[in-house]
A and B are shown apart, each in its own frame.
Chain A
Amino acid sequence: MSESATEKALSASMERPEIKMRGTNVSVFYGAKQALYDVNLDVRENSVTALIGPSGCGKSTFLRCLNRMNDTIDICRVTGEITLDDENIYAPAIDVVELRARVGMVFQKPNPFPKSIYENIVYGPRIHGQVSTRAEMDEIVERSLMKAGLFNEVKDRLHEPGTGLSGGQQQRLCIARAIAVSPEVILMDEPCSALDPIATAKVEELIDELRVNYTIVIVTHSMQQAARVSQRTAMFHLGNLVEEGPTEKMFTNPDTKLTQDYITGRFG
Chain B
Amino acid sequence: MASAELDSNVTPGQLRLADALKRAGILRQQFNWNFFTAPDASDTRPEAAGLGVAILGSAYMMVIVLVLSLPIGVAASIYLEEFAPQNRWTDLIEVNIANLAAVPSIVFGILGLAIFINFVGLPQSAPVVGGLVLTLMTLPTIIIATRAALKAVPPSINDAALGIGASKMQAIFHHILPLAAPGILTGTIIGLAQALGETAPLLLIGMVAFVREYPGAPPEGFFDPASALPVQVYNWTQRGDPAFVERASGAIIVLLIFLVIMNAIAILLRRRFERRW
Chain A interface residues toward B at CB < 8 A = 67, 69, 72, 74, 97-101, 104-107, 109, 111-114, 123-124, 127-128, 174, 177-178, 180-181
Q: Which of B162, B170, B175, B275 contacts A113 (CB 8 A)?
A: B175
Most buried by A among B85, B163, B167, B275: B163
Contact A100 B163 (CB under 8 A): yes
Excluding A72-B162, A100-B163, 14 further A-B contacts by CB distance (< 8 Å) are A99-B165, A101-B165, A105-B159, A105-B163, A106-B163, A107-B156, A111-B157, A123-B161, A123-B174, A127-B165, A127-B174, A128-B165, A178-B163, A181-B164
Contact of B164 among A72, A109, A114, A124 (CB under 8 A): A124
Jot down 21 A-B pairs with beta carbons below 8 A, ordered by A: A72-B158, A72-B159, A97-B165, A100-B164, A101-B165, A104-B164, A107-B163, A109-B156, A111-B154, A111-B156, A112-B160, A113-B175, A114-B275, A123-B161, A123-B174, A124-B165, A127-B170, A174-B160, A177-B164, A180-B164, A181-B165
Which one, A74, A98, A104, A114, contacts B163 given CB within 8 A? A104
Residues of B near any A CB (own CB < 8 A): 85-86, 154, 156-167, 170, 174-175, 179, 275
**Closest-CB distance, A250 to chain B (whole angstroms):** 28
- How far does the alpha carbon of A127 sit from the alpha carbon of B166 in the complex, in Å? 7
Query: What are the 8 closest A-B residue pairs judged by CB atoms, nearest first?
Result: A101-B165, A105-B163, A111-B156, A124-B164, A100-B165, A111-B160, A97-B167, A97-B165
Query: Across the interface, which residues of A come within 8 angstroms of B85, CB to CB?
Result: 74
A177: chain B residues at CB < 8 Å are 160, 164
Q: Give the nearest-CB partner of B153 in chain A.
A: A114
The answer to whether B163 touches A67 (Cβ under 8 A) is yes
Residues in A with CB closer than 8 Å to B161 are 113, 123
Find chain B residues with CB under 8 A from A111 CB.
154, 156-157, 159-160
Nearest chain-A residue to B165 (Cβ)? A101
| Nearest-CB residue, chain B, relative to A177 | B164
* Neighbouring B residues of A174 by C-beta, 8 Å: 160
Q: Which residues of B contact A101 (CB under 8 A)?
A: 164-165
Closest B residue, CB atoms, query A187: B163
The complex places the Cα of A232 from the Cα of B202 at a distance, in Å, of 73
* A98 pairs with B165, CB closer than 8 A: yes
Cβ of B163 and Cβ of A113 under 8 Å apart?
A: no
Complex CA distance for A67 and B158, rounded to whole angstroms: 15
Question: Shortest CB–CB separation between residue B80 and chain A, in angstroms?
Answer: 14
A residues near B175, Cβ cutoff 8 Å? 113
